[in-house]
């Protein structure tokens, strides 16, 4: 009887040990989270960022055409996040190559470096602006659709990634979305390069959750450029007008390089210069439009990707704010130097839509009346079922 009890106790202890081991393994598998990979300024570099509850998750490896290389990410404690945030630059990569990575034995993912030639497809997202669970679920549905594609080279996110830059719960919901697409955000971020612009709801460090490169100390944070095939992308930051002059010089340099090498030129930033909704005559937008609109036309920028106004708007706009009225052939417009195509990308999660409103044009503002600079405007009454009340949030 005592012997049987001892056997039962040993079995119980063994079962408890195995259960504990399983729990520990599950815990270890969940230590690393919020993983994302930001594109670098050169094709051989990527910035890896992630979080963990302790400072012992810094070792990671990257495997590609030339084998496996070990790296170490630097952990920084974040009081606002209540966890460690890790960041590392991965360089020495080959162009147009597939890589796998493993972080501390608990998270694995893949990415592909920029191609030097050939056609490519990228996702343009803006204003995920995660504030509440409804936003996160909507974003999860979008990420789920993007995850179903196998042709995305990278994703450009035009700012306002969360509603409050230091609200950690909002950052968590960006990656873990809840609902039927609970893990869609992390699946997407862990397997695609991103390029991020700073919005007015973001801070310049993205609270440590995204590592964007910086051109140099003189132009301010989150200002950089990168080439993907025959396109040069220049990411600018509209949040601090004191840096606009330096950013303009940086854009001039990048524009000259693009034109000298036969590349398309794309300018990327958050605040829309030309959009179809409520922010169109904000004082800060007017100032930005006066400064940037003539310059973007002068430098031959081909495409401008913007956010901020929570509508989809599109137009070929001259430097003086008029619709260029280009003719379409076979439903296709031909690019004309000095006439950028401006696109405001709606929003990618926040369940809040803006509407058009009447406006007056102030002196010197390169803007025409009645949104006549646009070819498409989802905020126009005919396309906006909620009317002109921009204060509503729509589920």
Q: What is the pLDDT of residue 350?
A: 65
The CATH class, in words, for 31-213 is: mainly beta
Domain ranges of the chain: 31-213
Instruction: Name the nearest CA neighbour of 127 among 314, 350, 285.
Output: 350
Instruction: Output the pTM of the full model.
Output: 0.89
Sign of CA dihedral 367, 368, 373, 377: positive
Tally Cβ neighbours within 10 Å of residue 10: 10
Q: What is the pLDDT along the chain (395 residues), one digit of tens a residue?
A: 333 333 334 443 334 333 333 333 333 445 899 999 999 999 999 999 999 999 999 999 999 999 999 999 999 999 999 999 999 999 999 999 999 999 999 999 999 999 999 999 999 999 999 999 999 999 999 999 999 999 999 999 999 999 999 999 999 999 999 999 999 999 999 999 999 999 999 999 999 999 999 877 689 999 999 999 999 999 999 999 999 999 999 999 999 999 999 999 999 999 999 999 989 999 999 999 999 999 999 999 999 999 999 999 999 999 999 999 988 777 777 778 889 999 999 988 866 778 888 899 999 999 999 999 999 998 876 555 555 444 444 43
> Distances in Å between the alpha carbon of 89 and those of 134, 153, 187, 382?
34, 19, 21, 48
Sign of CA dihedral 312, 201, 154, 243: positive
């Amino acid at each position: 009887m005592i012997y049987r009890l001892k056997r039962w106790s040993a079995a119980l202890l063994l079962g408890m040990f195995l259960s504990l081991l399983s729990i520990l393994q599950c815990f270890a598998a969940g230590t690393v989270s919020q993983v994302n990979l930001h594109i670098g300024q050169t094709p051989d570099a990527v910035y890896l960022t992630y979080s963990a509850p302790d400072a012992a998750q810094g070792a990671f490896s990257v495997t590609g055409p030339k084998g496996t290389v070990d790296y170490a990410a630097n952990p920084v404690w974040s009081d606002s996040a209540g966890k460690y945030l890790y960041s590392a630059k991965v360089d020495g990569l080959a162009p147009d190559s597939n890589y796998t990575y493993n972080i501390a034995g608990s998270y694995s993912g893949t990415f592909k470096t920029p191609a030097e030639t050939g056609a490519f497809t990228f996702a343009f997202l803006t204003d995920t602006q995660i504030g509440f669970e409804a936003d996160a679920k909507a974003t999860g549905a979008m990420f789920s659709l993007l995850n179903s594609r196998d042709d995305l080279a990278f994703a450009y996110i035009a700012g306002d990634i969360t509603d409050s830059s230091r609200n950690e719960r909002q950052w968590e919901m960006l990656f873990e979305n809840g609902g039927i697409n609970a893990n869609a955000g992390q699946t997407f971020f862990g397997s695609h390069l991103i390029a991020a612009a700073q919005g007015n709801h973001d801070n310049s460090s993205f609270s440590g959750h995204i590592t964007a490169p910086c051109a140099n100390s003189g132009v301010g944070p989150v200002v950089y450029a990168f080439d993907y095939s025959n396109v040069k992308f220049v990411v600018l930051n509209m949040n601090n007008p004191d840096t606009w002059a330096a950013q303009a010089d940086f854009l001039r340099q990048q524009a000259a390089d693009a034109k000298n090498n036969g590349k398309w030129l794309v300018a990327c930033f958050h605040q829309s210069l030309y959009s179809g909704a409520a922010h169109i005559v904000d004082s800060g937008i007017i100032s930005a439009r006066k400064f940037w609109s003539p310059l973007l036309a002068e430098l031959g920028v081909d495409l401008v990707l913007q956010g901020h106004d929570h509508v989809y708007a599109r137009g070929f706009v001259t430097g003086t704010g008029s619709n260029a009225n280009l003719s379409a052939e076979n439903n296709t417009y031909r690019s004309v130097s000095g006439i950028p195509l401006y696109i405001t990308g709606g929003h990618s999660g926040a369940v809040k839509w803006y509407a058009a409103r009447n406006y007056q044009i102030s002196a010197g503002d390169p803007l025409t009346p009645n949104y006549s600079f646009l070819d498409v405007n989802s905020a126009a009454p005919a396309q906006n079922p909620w009317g002109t009340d921009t204060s509503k949030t729509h589920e």
